[in-house]
Amino acid sequence: MVQLIECVPNISEGRRDDVVVAVREAALSASRGVLLLDSQSDRDHNRSVFTFLGDGPSLVAAMAAMVAEALARIDLRSHTGAHPRLGAVDVVPFVPLRGATQADCVALAKELGARIARENALPVYLYEDAAVSEERRNLSNVRKGEFEGLAKKMSDPGWKPDYGPSEPHPSGGATVVGARAFLVAYNVNLGTADLRIADRIAKAIRHIGGGYRYAKAMGVELTERGIVQVSINMTNFEKTPLHRVFETVRSEAERHGVPVVGSEIVGLVPQAALLSAAEHYLRLEADPRPQVVESRLLDVAFAQLEKKS
């Protein structure tokens, strides 16, 4: 099976189109094994988010080229924008999609971190699953103080970077590199207008409330529809699957005499997150993924791409 990893770099430029294009193209032309799935720029945030896909070595090569280009073109000393940021290339997470593990992505984060630090005299922090201490796991902790407070932050030995010099890159600040699971935004709608019920169920299923390890949740009012919603972030759908959370919401709602009227996935979702629901409910005796036509097709298409490039 072809290895597929997602890499979602966030750069601190969302207004100058020529810069956004140059940075993006630097990644694409550095490696033939990398595909661009999505590209979004936000003028208010003055920030762009790219979704690249490829195998590990191709992504590392592409990101190294992208970082160099971004550092040459973006100067945070004159940067304004609504979104918090620490660097010209602010954050680079690797996400395993297929044929790759979380550990593979941690290794890629470390490889890329060491390389861009060395090649650009750039301080690099590792976060989430690649973090070397609990304190650095959470991105907002690492980014606290932002670019403007970075020199002061780095004077604290506790914030010595994982790679690179112990002071900020003059124009590029620092970059945060890491590995995380694919995040699925999943909402379950309840046939009631009583927000307290959604809140109570959210509390029951979320990790901090005693619920599932990889679920974050809160109650939300859908005022137009006159109903409420349990809004969930599934931070690891392999270990905490959608169908298990759905069944718990359903069971908790029933106890209040409230039906589940529907559910929705916001944004992209890996095929595997939905196939595991089918596998569960149809009581399939084997993981159906290897039998899915589209999976075979992806392998064939990528093999062709490699042959032609």
List the catalytic residues.
83
Contacts for 122 with CB less than 8 Å, ≥ 6 apart: 67, 71, 87, 116, 164, 165, 169, 172, 174, 175
Per-residue binder mask for a copy of itself (CB under 8 A), 92-131, x = binder = -----xx---------------------------------
Contact window for a copy of itself (CB under 8 A) among 15-23, 106-114, 151-159, 255-263? 255-263
| 243 C-beta neighbours (distance < 10 Å), count | 16
Task: Considering the complex, state which of residue 62 and residue 126 has its C-beta at the smaller distance from a copy of itself.
Answer: 62
| C-alpha to C-alpha distance for 50 and 10, rounded to whole angstroms | 7
Instruction: Note whether 275 binds a copy of itself by CB under 8 A.
Output: yes
Task: Considering the complex, state which of residue 72 and residue 268 has its C-beta at the smaller distance from a copy of itself.
Answer: 268
Instruction: Note whether 309 binds a copy of itself by CB under 8 A.
Output: yes
Residue in 156, 158, 208, 286 binding a copy of itself, rule: CB under 8 A: 286
Q: Where is 275: in which H helix or E strand?
A: helix 271-281
Residue in 1, 21, 103, 292 binding a copy of itself, rule: CB under 8 A: 292
**Residue with the two structure tokens 């080229």:** 65
Nearest distance in Å: CB 264, a copy of itself: 5
Torsions phi, psi for 248 (to 5 deg):
-70, -45
| C-alpha to C-alpha distance for 25 and 242, rounded to whole angstroms | 36
Instruction: Note whether 270 binds a copy of itself by CB under 8 A.
Output: yes
Task: Considering the complex, state which of residue 2 and residue 19 has its C-beta at the smaller distance from a copy of itself.
Answer: 2
Write the DSSP string, 119-137: HHT--EEEEETT-SSHHHH
Nearest distance in Å: CB 38, a copy of itself: 8
Instruction: Note whether 304 binds a copy of itself by CB under 8 A.
Output: yes
Q: Are 166 and 123 in contact (CB under 8 A)?
A: yes
| C-alpha to C-alpha distance for 118 and 113, rounded to whole angstroms | 9
Task: Considering the complex, state which of residue 208 and residue 282 has its C-beta at the smaller distance from a copy of itself.
Answer: 282
Q: What residues from 137 to 196 belong to the interface with a copy of itself (CB under 8 A)?
A: 182, 189
Which 3 state secondary structure label does DSSP give 22? helix
Identity of the residue numbered 163: Y
Instruction: Name which of 78, 73, 70, 100 is nearest 10 in CA terms.
Output: 70
Nearest distance in Å: CB 68, a copy of itself: 24
Chain residues binding a copy of itself by CB under 8 A are: 4, 6, 35-38, 53, 97-98, 182, 189, 242-243, 246, 260-265, 267-271, 274-275, 277-286, 288, 291-298, 300-302, 304-305, 308-309
